[in-house]
Amino acid sequence: MSSILIIYTGGTIGMVKDEKTGALKSFDFDSLLKEIPEIKKFAHHINIESFDTPIDSSNMQPEKWLQIAQTIYNNYDQHDGFVILHGSDTMAYTASALSFMLENLSKPVILTGSQLPIGELRTDAKENLLTAIEIATTEINGTAAVPEVAIYFEYDLYRGNRATKSNAEDFEAFTSPNYPVLAQAGVSLRFNHNDIYKPNNKDLQLNQFLDRNIATIKLYPGITEQFIFSVINTPGLRAIIIETFGSGNASTEIWFINLLLEAIKKDIIILNISQCEGGTVNQGKYETSSALNSIGVVSGKDMTFEAAITKLMYLLGTGLSSEEIKQWLQKPLRGEMTLD
Cα–Cα distance measured from residue 131 to residue 114, given in angstroms and rounded to the nearest whole number: 12
Selecting among 12, 90, 112, 280, the annotated active-site residue is 12
Active-site residue, 234 included: no
Query: Is-contact 131 190, C-beta < 8 A?
Result: no
CA dist list (Å): 190 to 54, 65, 148, 230, 241: 33, 30, 16, 50, 36
Whole-angstrom distance, CA of residue 128 vs CA of residue 242: 34
3-class state of residue 99 by DSSP? helix
Which positions ≥6 away from 339 have C-beta within 8 Å?
Answer: 301, 331, 332
> Contact at 8 Å (CB) between 271 and 240?
yes
Q: How far apart are CA 58 and CA 130, in angstroms?
A: 24
User: Counting beta carbons within 10 angstroms of the beta carbon of residue 211, is it exposed (0 to 12), middle (13 to 18) or buried (19 or more)?
Assistant: middle
Helix (H) or strand (E) run with residue 231 in it = helix 225-232
Residues annotated as catalytic (active site), given as ranges: 12
